[in-house]
Amino acid sequence: MAEIVIVPDAADAGALVADEIVRIVRANPETVLGLATGSTPLPVYEALRPRIAGVDVSRVRGFALDEYVGIDPAHPESYRSVITREVVEPLGLDPARIRVPNGSLEGIEHAGADYEAAIETAGGVDLQILGIGTDGHIGFNEPGSSFASLTRVKTLTAQTREDNARFFPSIDDVPMHCITQGLGTILRARHLVLLAFGEGKAAAVAGAVEGPLSASVPGSAIQLHPHATVVVDEAAASRLAHADYYRYTFANKPEWQGL
């Protein structure tokens, strides 16, 4: 099963994961990171800024989880823009080494296969950052997604479009489609780090880590991974049946094992 780490708050989670990222980049300057967008990973990126100073990141590569289809890459809410604004520029990464799925309508038929090939050429993702939706989705893999799915175009649910409407002038401006890494793609990363904060994520977290494997809860796919770490605050951990056990095991974990 995944390792569950319960911390007091999002800032502590960000610091914990940032320390692990710095550790692996120091050990391997050509580390490949899987980058998530949204509010959940922001504490990690914020904690990385002072920690990564002085570390050679010139050869670090990154792959974003997803992108809207048909959106101008220069649009402030395209995930290309978000990754550039929140990760690439603050951390001093090389923009040419950071990939985002191509959501252009031209060539969209093979954009998924192209992205899969790019990840494979890079040697695969070393550490994939993930968030989880209230319905258990990861990336844009909505309930019903196959555990074997690869990068592909998906239709966003009405709920997801409503959730994302706050970033756009109106819900009518939220794209109807996206291109997202599939669950099968995500599971190929060498280390998965899923973060969740707040009471609103508690049911999704419990379902993903303690519930049955189910396409109805895409996040439960992490149970299939040999090295998955779930970092949650107390509120997001509030529905976990074995929270005391998770606290005990992490408190007694050998330091050499890392995150």
* Active-site pick, 20, 126, 137, 191: 137
Report the alpha-carbon distance of residue 204 to residue 134 in Å, rounded: 6
- Can you tell me the distance from the alpha carbon of 168 to that of 176, in angstroms, rounded to the nearest whole number? 13
Q: Is 234 annotated in the active site?
A: no
Reply yes or no on whether 3 is catalytic: no
CA-to-CA dists, residue 127 to 24, 49, 167, 191, angstroms: 9, 18, 27, 5
Please confirm, yes or no, whether 66 is among the known catalytic residues.
yes
Residue 141, strand partner residues:
138
Handedness of CA 138, 182, 100, 57 (dihedral sign): positive
- Please tell me which residue in 20, 126, 135, 233 is annotated as part of the active site: 135
Of these residues, 20, 116, 142, 233, which one is catalytic? 142
The tally of CA atoms less than 13 A away on the side-chain side of residue 5 is 22
Taking the C-alpha atoms of residue 36 and residue 83, their distance in angstroms, rounded to an integer, is 8
Tell me the residue type at 53: A
User: Catalytic residue positions?
Assistant: 66, 135, 137, 142
